[in-house]
């Protein structure tokens, strides 16, 4: 009887120990019951140890460091994006400024060229104006003097030009002037200069040209100008010019002196009936007889 009570007490105490272990979360370890059968294992989690707490703190600290690094990287990327946008903006603005400056430079060069053309060119005919013609004639005369080369000047005057303007109108007169310039360019050489001297008068500069060659050039210009037709309402009028030629001689050295000689010869051509070529006195003396006979201008005493 006492032995049975002892076994019953031990079994009750073992049950209490098991329940206490389960309450505090300690695994039972599969201990055997008093009757020899194995007790079932407990499903409760083990208690956290100090090592577990340390690992968790490290992971939290590492995650926080990674988050800070990620935030700094994102901020750095945003800064680089802003810097790239500013760089692109500066490059674009610099390109625009460069294009604008280039356009202004080109426009300025074109404007200066246009002013230079206006200062040196006759607006109607496109020929050199009087000032530019004087410059080119002076340079040609100086070169002829240095190199002891021949030089011939010719003053040309369109015949009956006032009548053409009065009878046909100024538009036809302007057309005659422009056609004279255009047709003359087709006859003259690259070194020759034909400039508008004033109104319907022109100065022709022929460097390295003896009087015989100069006469031939002027005659070709007369033939070319004959192609210009006036309205049928004025059949009595035609387009032609008279010319006075002079060469640089010992009696005519400066530009003014040679031009004065050519002007005197032009006066003779106008008085002789127009559409004529005449040589000044000194040039006639030096010219070949064949040239004078062709011009109908024999040597006079």
- Reported as a single tens digit per residue, the pLDDT across 247-295 is 987 677 899 999 999 999 999 999 998 899 999 988 888 776 666 666 6
Beta-ladder partners of 193: 205
Per-residue pLDDT at 46: 53
**Tens digits of residue pLDDT in 31-84:** 445 555 555 555 555 555 666 667 787 888 888 888 888 888 888 888 888 889
- Residue 41 lies inside a defined structural domain of this protein: no
| Whether 138 and 202 share a structural domain | yes
Q: What is each CA distance from 99 to 108, 112, 229, in whole angstroms?
A: 14, 20, 51
Residue 2 belongs to what domain range?
Answer: 1-35
Q: Is pLDDT larger for residue 194 or for residue 101?
A: 194
Q: What percent of the chain has a predicted confidence (pLDDT) above 70? A: 77
Quote the mean pLDDT of the chain. 82
Query: Which domain-ending residue is among 92, 120, 148?
Result: 120
**Tens digits of residue pLDDT in 140-196:** 999 999 988 999 999 999 999 999 999 999 999 999 999 999 999 999 999 999 999
Give the CATH number of the domain where residue 173 resides.
Answer: 3.30.70.270
- Residue 300 lies inside a defined structural domain of this protein: no
Tell whether the model's pLDDT for residue 300 goes beyond 50: no
| Whether 93 and 206 share a structural domain | no
Residue 283 makes CB contacts below 8 A (sequence gap 6+) with 211, 245, 246, 247, 249, 261, 265
Active-site positions read: 200
| Whether 138 and 238 share a structural domain | yes
- Residue 49 lies inside a defined structural domain of this protein: no
| Whether 272 and 290 share a structural domain | yes
């Amino acid at each position: 009887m006492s032995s049975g009570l002892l076994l019953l007490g031990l079994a009750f105490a073992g049950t209490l120990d098991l329940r206490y272990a389960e309450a505090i979360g300690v695994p039972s370890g599969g201990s055997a019951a008093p009757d020899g059968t194995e007790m079932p294992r407990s499903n409760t989690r083990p208690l956290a140890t100090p090592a577990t707490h340390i690992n968790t703190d490290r992971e939290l600290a590492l995650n926080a460091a990674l988050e800070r690094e990620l935030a700094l990287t994102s901020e750095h990327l945003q800064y680089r994006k802003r810097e790239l946008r500013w760089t692109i903006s500066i490059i674009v603005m610099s390109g625009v400024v460069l294009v604008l400056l280039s356009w202004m430079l080109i426009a300025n060069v074109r404007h200066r060229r246009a002013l230079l053309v206006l200062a040196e060119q006759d607006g109607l005919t496109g020929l050199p104006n009087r000032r530019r013609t004087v410059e080119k004639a002076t340079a040609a005369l100086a070169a002829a003097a240095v190199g002891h080369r021949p030089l011939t000047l010719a003053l040309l005057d369109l015949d009956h030009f006032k009548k053409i303007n009065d009878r046909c109108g100024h538009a036809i007169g302007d057309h005659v002037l422009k056609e004279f310039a255009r047709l003359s360019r087709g006859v003259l050489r690259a070194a020759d200069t034909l400039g508008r001297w004033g109104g319907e008068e022109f100065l022709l500069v022929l460097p390295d040209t003896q009087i015989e060659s100069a006469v031939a050039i002027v005659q070709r210009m007369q033939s070319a100008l004959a192609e210009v037709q006036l309205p049928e309402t004025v059949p009595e009028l035609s387009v032609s010019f008279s010319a006075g030629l002079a060469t640089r001689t010992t009696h005519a050295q400066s530009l003014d002196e040679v031009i004065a000689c050519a002007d005197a010869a032009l006066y003779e051509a106008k008085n002789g009936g127009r559409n004529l070529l005449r040589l000044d006195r000194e040039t006639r003396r030096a010219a070949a007889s064949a040239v004078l006979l062709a011009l109908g201008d024999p040597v006079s005493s």
